[in-house]
Structure 1
Amino acid sequence: MGYKSVFRPGLFQGQAVIVTGGGSGIGRCTAHELVSLGARVALVGRKNEKLQAVQAEIAAVGGTASVHVCDIREEAQVQATVADVLAAHGRIDGLVNNAGGQFPSPLEKISAKGWDAVVRNNLTGGFLMAREAYTQWMAQHGGAIVNIIADIWMGMPSMGHSGAARAGMLNFTETAALEWGPVRVNAVAPGWIASSGMDQYPPEMGPLIRSMGKMVPVQRMGTESEVSAAIVFLLSEAAAFVSGACLRVDGAAPNAKRVWPEVGKGGQTAAFNGFHLATTPRVLQDAP
């Protein structure tokens, strides 16, 4: 049993791709899909045990993944990590800038330290990874970068620090696509995705999380596989003329308007879930 990708076998044969935040959630899923398509993957993250667990999963299906422990907020660590990836794989064809994190808080209660931590996680770290992948390899050999942002449209209430950082990452994407061409730089903006990250929020957010699917015109949450498929497309040769773009994977949630109270028609689109190791987040399993 392995990953059931919609893309052709061998699409990334001989290529090496960095996936930050590769120890869980969307990053883990994307790493598995890339490996299923022939890529060698460099898993980057702060927690060695999580990265090694994913490395073992990939080895179990005959894939190749290396582990690189790195705090992407630290410039020297990022420089050394990208050099280590090159030493391990000899090339960097793609970068999936997926690592990030935030905590819920109204704006007036976010301290300068908390604001800085989230911005460094979701903006500065992504910039550093992209810059090093570009300067150490892609500037001379080409490649593709995909920056993972979020549903930032119309603001991010209770996540204003993350919204500001992700919006900055989108603008960085557009600038880098110009300055670094022909290296392609794009973004993917996931909406409400049933991923393990949902279990990191406080228990009191459980009822809100479980109600989110009904706020989406397609009447459900997305899957990790649906986000991974968008990332894989943007890394692939099929997107050779796509750069500076942002692909939303959100079921049209930002299009739900107060002046149009009906959200969808009550039915759901069929979910795509090709990830053979996907599990439902605990917060959704607890739904009444």
Structure 2
Amino acid sequence: MREQRFDVWAAGDAYDRYMGRWSRLVAGEFLTWLGAGGGLRWLDVGCGTGALTAAVAGRCHPRTVLGLDRSAGFLASAGATAPAPAHFAVADALSLPVRDEACDVAVSGLALNFLPDPGAAVAEAARVVRQGRGGGLVAAYVWDYSGGMGLLNSFWAAAVALDPSAAALDEGRRFPLCRPDPLRAVWEGAGLADVVVAAIEVPTVFAGFADLWEPFLSGQGPAPGYVATLAPAARDRLRDALGRAVPTRPDGSIPLTARAWAIRGTRPPRAATGRAPR
């Protein structure tokens, strides 16, 4: 599908300038909200460039933390910056190379909606966390594409005004999972209990329009992928329309915000569900 062709992520540096700098802010807020204690065994599924893995390693005093991702390019960036005890491996979220109940906490940041079967991925995460009193913790966060992403909402509004066919690529339309009720349904469908959903909002302030626009030229991700398909004149029209749409301070900076939906749930004792989720 055309949409899936633009979902490929591979180069860590390009992602970091486009979205990674904001994902680090969300990762810290997410861990504060999660409130997990020290000495735990963590798994970060779809870790990308390692923003969340590094935050766990640096803030949560983990016993271990393993980041898994399908992109070797992303993992190369992650391994170069994450502090000990973080380590990484190439793996598929739908078939984790981890034994049953090997972890205390399984997390995922900004990846779930890009997986072919999010429900199966959450069930797989539930499999690898411990059960028993208190249960293991399965938690994640995704961008609120439908209305909480100032950058992307402004981009797609400008793109669709110029090219109505671009609406099919808008993440707000493509990823209905990224809302509280669908997320809750996935967690509960995986047999998780005590499910809680919360909004996390962070500032995304750009130094100027070049700081905002140039990451869209990387060709990586849905919006940059769309920009890469445009002829130079069409690209310039989109750039100018976006420049007119975003708020600009007298110093040239552009103040926007980004919201993520965070969700967590625990794996209950076997007796409470009849059998462990698979």
TM-score for the superposition, normalised by structure 2: 0.50
- State the partner residue of 1:14: 39
Distance (Å, rounded) in 2 between the aligned partners of 1:43 and 1:211: 40
Task: Indicate conservation of the 8 Å contact 1:44/1:70, yes or no.
Answer: yes
Distance (Å, rounded) in 2 between the aligned partners of 1:58 and 1:211: 38
Larger RCO, structures 1/2 (Cα 8 Å, 6+ apart) = 2
How large is the Cα RMSD of the aligned pairs?
4.6
Equivalent in 239, 249, 255 of residue 220 of structure 1: 255
Q: Which has the higher strand share?
A: 2
Unaligned runs of at least 5 residues, structure 1 = 73-77, 101-120, 237-288
Task: Indicate conservation of the 8 Å contact 1:142/1:182, yes or no.
Answer: no
Q: How far does the alpha carbon of each residue in 1:255-275 deviate from its partner, in whole angstroms, 9 at most, with x for none? A: xxxxxxxxxxxxxxxxxxxxx
Bigger Rg, structure 1 or 2: 2
Residue 256 of structure 2 aligns with an amino acid whose one-letter code is M
- State the partner residue of 1:56: 80
Distance (Å, rounded) in 2 between the aligned partners of 1:210 and 1:41: 41
Secondary structure, counterpart of 2:107 in structure 1: strand
Identical aligned pairs, as a percentage?
11
Distance (Å, rounded) in 2 between the aligned partners of 1:127 and 1:97: 15
Secondary structure, counterpart of 1:172 in structure 2: helix
Unaligned runs of at least 5 residues, structure 2 = 1-23, 161-165, 207-211, 229-234, 266-278
- State the partner residue of 1:114: none
Q: How far does the alpha carbon of each residue in 1:99-136 deviate from its partner, in whole angstroms, 9 at most, with x for none? A: 26xxxxxxxxxxxxxxxxxxxx6353432221101134
Residue 144 of structure 1 aligns with an amino acid whose one-letter code is V
Residue 214 of structure 1 aligns with an amino acid whose one-letter code is P
Q: Which runs of 4+ in 1 moved over 4 A?
A: 3-8, 154-157, 187-198, 205-213
Task: Indicate conservation of the 8 Å contact 2:203/2:256, yes or no.
Answer: yes
Q: Is it true that 1:182 corresponds to 2:193 in the alignment? A: yes
- State the partner residue of 1:67: 88
**Alpha-carbon offset, residue 152 of structure 1:** 0.9
Task: Indicate conservation of the 8 Å contact 1:174/1:186, yes or no.
Answer: yes
**Alpha-carbon offset, residue 17 of structure 1:** 3.4
Task: Indicate conservation of the 8 Å contact 1:19/1:98, yes or no.
Answer: no
- State the partner residue of 2:103: 91
Task: Indicate conservation of the 8 Å contact 2:67/2:86, yes or no.
Answer: yes
Distance (Å, rounded) in 2 between the aligned partners of 1:42 and 1:209: 39
TM-score for the superposition, normalised by structure 1: 0.49
Secondary structure, counterpart of 1:56 in structure 2: helix
**CA separation of 1:16/1:123 partners in 2, compared to 1, >3 Å: closer, same or farther?**
same
Q: Is it true that 1:127 corresponds to 2:111 in the alignment? A: no
Residue 172 of structure 1 aligns with an amino acid whose one-letter code is P
**Alpha-carbon offset, residue 11 of structure 1:** 5.5
